[in-house]
Structure 1
Amino acid sequence: MRTDPADFTAPVVYDLVLRSRRTVLPDGERPASVAIAGERIAVIGDYDEPVPAARTRDLGDLALLPGLVDTHVHVNEPGRTHWEGFATATRAAAAGGVTTLLDMPLNSIPPTVDAAALAAKRRAAHGRTWVDVGFWGGAVPGNETDRRTLHHDGAFGFKCFTAPSGVPEFPPLDTAGLHRACAAAAALGTVLLVHAEDPRLLTDTPTAPDYRRFLATRPAAAETAAVREVLAAARATGARVHLLHVAAAEALDPVRDARRDGLPVTAETCPHYLALTADDVPDHATDYKCCPPLRDRANREALWAALEDGTLDSVVSDHSPSPPDLKTDDFATSWGGIASLQIGLPVVWTEAARRGLPLTRLARWMSTAPADLAGLHRKGRIAAGADADLIAFDPAREWTVRAADLHHRHPRTPYDGRTLTGAVTDTWLRGAPLDTDAAPRGRLLRRSTR
């Protein structure tokens, strides 16, 4: 049996031992037992090794994975709680094996662009989260002096847009503002997250009942040009930058070049870009609308290749729901956001399994890498000393998505009726079974949390 870290003292009898023939560890998948003391993983041993414990559960061939860490969730509370909310979003997260999420600084009112807004977020979330929740701050024109206070108050980093965000209270940064935001992030030792699209290459259309007309308004060149601008700002300032929801394959080469040059840049994509394509979208089906948009099959395969070669680090939901009245039948006027917080793992696993990829890759992309982005080094991994955030996953179970069964506030999703492979069967949050019928026990996290 492996021993604990020097700073962790094991009890004589552990609180819980979980055994699985498919335990997904940082160094690979193997049969193992995971002993839990209090809220943390104490020891990882062999599958059949006797371990004294108050409770033991053998998962057999169910996979044991680290809880997912989703660093890109729009909870929208306070101010737009009729769009989503902490209670509904975190219940959906818990059902999908997401044990930690980070809330984006929009589309709540007020947006999280100063200390008072961050405090309002925490008040709205207090006692209403089934999973652990942290908060990003916002970088918008005019809040330069507020960013340092947000940082010291525990914001995990800052998000900005280079193109209009879709809500007037969260405007984009121009080129000079982007450079200042990068310089500030470097000075604070934090990360700047960027929604990268070049507004000069985006066009409008008065109506777009068919998806192809909408797609033409947000070409891949807009994303690529903005990515190049972000990387130039990072080179000039030494900032650590993270590219959000990369959708365009042609934007990948600049990222590869930057990483080869040692630039501290990371990048994510989302389940919808890995599973859906422009060819899947029927006319008027605006549940598929997102920005940047879904592109063609060749583009999707290039994103998968970028995950495999490490150009893309993580896969997160960009869960951005809205009330049904904002999902009109016209792509030009409909809200751009896809709701998928609860089903991200099976969506990605369905596609990964078709490509012969192992669960260890998913654990890296959906747990460890997002946790590392936020500096949550006790999250996102099955290792001694880590928080005992764990999920049991049946990788062979096939099931059909029914939007009405999902827990987020509005039962809309483009995956409605789609058959997926893989299902979360159990979730543990900090060593205890996560029961959404019981009182919420999620914690509110701050940047200093380790």
Structure 2
Amino acid sequence: MDQLNILDRKILLVLQNYPLESFSTLAEKLKISPQTMIRRINALKENNILFMPVATFIPERISLTRYFVTLNISSLHQFTYLQMALSEFNYIRSYNRFYGENFGMLAVFDLPEEAKTQFIKYLNYLVEQEYCDSFIIDKAMGYRVTKPESLTNYSKDPELFNLIGYWQKRKEKSEELPRLPSPVKLESLEPMHMLLLRDLTNFAKNGVEISIRSKQTDLIDHYKKYYMHLGKKIRMTDNEKYVYANLSEFFDTRNAHNIKVDFGRKYYNVARHSLISNPRWTFSRKLFEQHVTRAFIIKNVPKNEKAQIFRLLHEEALPFETGFELLNDGLFLRFAIPPYYDSKLNYIIWNTFKDYQVCSLDFFGKHGAWWPFYLENYNWDTKYWKIDDDWTYNNVLTEIDNKLKTNNFGDIKLNKHIPIENGNGNGNASYLHEHISNGNSTVSAP
């Protein structure tokens, strides 16, 4: 059912193409008043069509390695246990249920390479406990594409976009991959950098909307309130103690002008220095158009073909949501498409990769979640990520056992990532973002 008028569609279009532009600038592009623009945007938010914009942190830039794990199951009841167990691992990034020739969960983790041994041990534990039957792990190589869906080609005439012709262009692309930037020195990052990294890649619902579009003055005010909140806490975690000390030095030893100048430098280091990327508005299409989400993990693809596909998707955007990850042993593709393109997409994939191993993953329903950057994973004493056995394995199993003993195995872990400013809870709660795979543009490559 279509509940959007032409102006709403145009507004969503310009927001997708210019996510960081001011509303007045976008209103000028549409030849409407800023007041009309703001009024329509607020209405779209109230109707749960438009959500806050979000960016993505780049794990390789901060010495984290991304792993894609396909967890196969044989019984539907395993989903509940597996989701609970996955949510307890501190380096979890996202998961989605998948269906197809197999069914199970696709989970993504960003963790330090030094923790891989404990990570494999944890995955084997999931098999031993029969939360899943088996798993396949793939390492991401840092070449990824995450493009939000555009409204450009969602017209009454779907033939406006030639999907098969687009795919053939990959053969014209270079077979060489571009050089990736080197990781930053973690010891050069301060708590303020980490707070920015967390908050610019998340849109938490804690009463204050902080996002990649927030003005620096609003962010300064936000962190000043957070500093005051921490000061009222009776007990703080070790991580919070370091953050509090850093915020104390920052706000108590500078005047207003210097706070603004120094904060601008820190903001630039995070937002403009390749630590985060892909700023985008998120919106739900469920009220006005339907689409399906298809994903594929393809094994043993030659390096030159992987490079050509990456360059095609990176250089020439599709009109619908696209996710791509170049894996050590293959590649991951994900598309959210109108049904019209479904048969064409499947033809392209199965015909192109007929000589390779293809795993089809079909996503639907409200069965996915992602977590923002988790500050508690960092150890300020060592200036590196936590890689000890307790953090990466022992404590995880303890939390899982506690939920089983209290018959709380269906509860997904929510008490991490984002602080609650009003002091409710333990001050370290999270906003776990769930998506609707058949109608939400947040369904993207993690």
State TM-score, norm by structure 1: 0.22
State TM-score, norm by structure 2: 0.22
Q: Which has the larger radius of gyration?
A: 2
Q: Comparing both structures, which one devotes a greater share of its residues to helix?
A: 2
